[in-house]
């Protein structure tokens, strides 16, 4: 890029002239997941030249983790592209030919996407009986009707009564239970099966929400999450291909792996720590010692920056926000972090020599008959396996072999993560034998599972609006620091101050926040992560548009 010529009396644009006389803004992105890569890609493509990504682990991708076993690719993290109309992840996949191998059966438009829409789900009880298909269909219709009611509290501004405790789980269980019990056409035995199915459906919903229980998910806010229209897709060659496409235009030198961050020192005017940091790093050029932000890494390196985009998960923020930021975050941001929810959803892949399930079965759903009247979905540690809601049949077998994909969430998922593979494989096999009534089901030949909850770099799978939180908390979480009324005006005046040697309020947007938990409508999704990264990049592109135009 060519710099513009600077005339001696050119003071019409103090922002661009001040920066031209100095240097390009230094931007550090923390995290090489979808949000971080999207932000860095947009910044580099817009003309920024001083961009660094710091990634704590030894790989890029964050909560996208595709594992290749034999000829098949299994997703420990993100699996589906949820919707196609305007979805940036879908367009990346489509434009790069990643969906060409996707079968019609994988283009499910159902709210709960399975790997195949062919065949039927088998709802089995712990007594080894299959619930009749007509009973399942009747219950499913009722559940979906009530589920639609949960959306109306936000979408139509319906008031939440005290009995619901503003909880999706409490409301759904109460309404469905009352309707089941009041149905004059069902026998007591059928009613009891349907009452037990309530808990199983709520377990599935908890896995979808990545909550410990739907009792913890806010009823008044549940309907704000927005589903993108269009089919749901998988990427046969692995979701990691989306990550690789985003990283393709990012020079390798930009991404530093195995570079965990210890602390972000920001807001120079109130943090004497910055002086200590600068003194500690005597190799820093003088102009760097005046930086507004320093990123302190675990390896003791201090990296000066003008802007830091933090893309770590909400789980990491919950655990580390007190030590990760100096000075500490403003109280309203801390409150937002504490009020919003994140928990763990894990997968358990079991590979068998031969299928023991019928060709029409696309999933095995576990219905515990003794839970018909249960109010809680929390179990003693030794009964963690009761939180496994289902096993999906991976489809097509020509691609995956004979593999089941199990789902477990919440505190029980964390207990599962502590167990060894042998214990989990044995436990799942016994469970399958019990529910199918087939004592001859062999142990799987191979097991693969995720562990998002206990991983210190993630501490959970994805976010949700917890009871007591709202979309306003998502906005507060996403708000850059320090708070400023008009970013561009403040920067312009700050540059004037630097030119004429008088002080002015500090550089705005020193610390910015990105990631799925910061997107108000699309939290918990890959497209929410991508869009949030692009959003923060856009803020900086707008702030420095004069500089970027000048250098183009």
Other CB atoms within 10 Å distance of the CB of residue 534 = 18
Q: Which residues contact 340 (CB under 8 A, 6 or more apart)?
A: 314, 463, 464, 465, 466, 469, 473, 474, 477, 517
Q: What would the mean pLDDT of 296-321 be, rounded to a whole number?
A: 97
Q: What would the mean pLDDT of 215-235 be, rounded to a whole number?
A: 93
Which tens digits make up the pLDDT trace of 4-18?
Answer: 433 333 334 434 434
Label the pairing between strands 27-30 and 307-310.
parallel
Q: To the nearest whole percent, how much of the chain has pLDDT over 70?
A: 85
pLDDT at 119: 80
pLDDT at 358: 93
Q: How confident is the model at residue 43 (pLDDT cuts 50, 70, 90)?
A: very high
CB 180 within 8 A of CB 142: yes
CB 296 within 8 A of CB 30: no
* pLDDT of 105 higher than 80: no
CA neighbor of 201 nearest in space, from 141, 152, 151, 161: 141
- The string over 191-205, giving b where at least 16 C-beta atoms fall within 10 Å of a residue's C-beta and e elsewhere, is bebbbbbbbbbbbbb
Q: How confident is the model at residue 395 (pLDDT cuts 50, 70, 90)?
A: confident
pLDDT at 273: 54
Q: What would the mean pLDDT of 175-187 be, rounded to a whole number?
A: 97
pTM value surpassing 0.75: yes
Cα(336)–Cα(314) distance, integer angstroms:
10
* pLDDT of 233 higher than 70: yes
Which tens digits make up the pLDDT trace of 415-459?
Answer: 999 999 999 999 999 999 999 999 999 999 999 999 999 999 999
Which tens digits make up the pLDDT trace of 338-394?
Answer: 999 999 999 999 999 999 999 999 999 999 999 999 987 789 999 999 999 999 999
Which tops the pLDDT comparison, 522 or 230?
522
- The string over 434-469, giving b where at least 16 C-beta atoms fall within 10 Å of a residue's C-beta and e elsewhere, is bbbeeeebeebeebbbbebbebebbbbbbbbbbbeb
Which tops the pLDDT comparison, 234 or 179?
179
Axis-axis angle for helices 471-478, 331-339 (nearest 10): 130
Which tens digits make up the pLDDT trace of 161-176?
Answer: 999 999 999 999 999 9
Q: Using CB atoms within 10 Å of the CB of residue 67, give its burial: 0 to 12 exposed, 13 to 18 middle, 19+ buried.
A: middle
Cα(292)–Cα(282) distance, integer angstroms:
17
CA neighbor of 200 nearest in space, from 430, 463, 377: 377
* pLDDT of 274 higher than 60: no
Q: What would the mean pLDDT of 221-242 be, rounded to a whole number?
A: 93
The side-by-side arrangement of strands in the sheet containing 302-305 is: 302-305, 293-297, 261-265, 325-326
pLDDT at 232: 85
């Amino acid at each position: 890029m060519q710099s513009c010529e600077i005339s001696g009396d050119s003071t019409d644009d103090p922002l661009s002239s001040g920066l031209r006389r100095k240097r390009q803004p230094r931007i550090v992105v923390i995290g090489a997941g979808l949000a971080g890569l999207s932000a860095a890609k947009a910044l580099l493509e817009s003309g920024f030249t001083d961009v660094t990504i710091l990634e704590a682990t030894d790989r890029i991708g964050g909560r996208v983790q595709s594992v290749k076993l034999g000829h098949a690719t299994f997703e420990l993290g993100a699996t589906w592209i949820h919707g196609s109309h305007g979805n940036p992840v879908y367009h990346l996949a489509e434009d790069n030919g990643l969906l060409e191998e996707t079968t019609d059966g994988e283009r499910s438009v159902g709210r709960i996407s399975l790997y195949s829409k062919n065949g039927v789900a088998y709802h089995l009880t712990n007594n080894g009986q299959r619930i009749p298909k007509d009973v399942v269909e009747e219950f499913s219709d009722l559940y979906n009707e009530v589920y639609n009611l949960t959306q109306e509290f936000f979408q139509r501004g319906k008031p939440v009564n005290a009995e619901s405790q503003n909880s999706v789980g409490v409301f759904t269980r109460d309404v469905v239970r009352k309707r089941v019990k009041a149905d004059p056409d069902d026998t007591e035995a059928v009613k009891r099966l349907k009452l037990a199915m309530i808990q199983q459906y709520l377990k599935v919903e908890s896995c979808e929400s990545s909550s410990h229980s739907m009792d913890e998910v806010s009823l008044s806010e549940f309907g704000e999450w927005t589903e993108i229209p269009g089919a749901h897709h998988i990427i046969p060659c692995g979701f990691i291909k989306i990550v690789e496409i985003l990283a393709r235009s990012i020079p390798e030198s930009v991404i530093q792996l195995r570079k965990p961050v210890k602390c972000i020192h920001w807001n120079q005017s109130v943090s004497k720590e910055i002086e200590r940091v600068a003194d500690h790093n005597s190799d820093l050029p003088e102009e760097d010692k005046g930086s507004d932000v320093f990123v302190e890494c675990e390896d003791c390196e201090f990296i000066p920056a003008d802007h830091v985009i933090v893309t770590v998960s909400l789980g990491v923020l919950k655990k580390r926000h007190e030590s990760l930021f100096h000075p500490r975050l403003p109280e309203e941001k801390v409150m937002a972090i504490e009020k919003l929810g994140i928990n763990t959803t894990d997968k358990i892949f079991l590979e068998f020599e031969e299928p023991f399930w019928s060709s029409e079965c696309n999933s095995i759903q576990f219905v515990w008959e003794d839970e018909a009247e249960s109010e809680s979905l929390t179990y003693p540690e030794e009964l963690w396996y009761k939180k496994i809601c289902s096993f999906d049949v991976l489809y097509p077998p020509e691609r995956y072999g004979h593999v089941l994909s199990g789902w477990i969430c919440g505190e029980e998922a964390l207990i599962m993560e502590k167990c060894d593979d042998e214990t989990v494989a044995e436990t799942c096999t016994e469970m399958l034998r019990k529910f199918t009534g087939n004592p001859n089901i062999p142990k799987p030949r191979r097991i693969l599972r995720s562990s998002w909850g206990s991983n210190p770099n993630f501490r959970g799978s994805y976010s949700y609006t917890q009871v007591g939180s709202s979309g306003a908390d998502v906005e507060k979480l996403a708000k850059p620091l320090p708070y400023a009324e008009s970013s561009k005006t403040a920067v312009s005046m700050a540059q004037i101050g630097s030119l004429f040697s008088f002080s002015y309020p500090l550089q705005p947007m020193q610390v910015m926040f990105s990631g799925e938990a910061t997107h108000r409508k699309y939290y918990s999704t890959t497209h929410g992560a991508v869009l949030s990264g692009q959003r923060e990049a856009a803020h900086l592109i707008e702030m420095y548009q004069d500089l970027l135009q000048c250098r183009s």
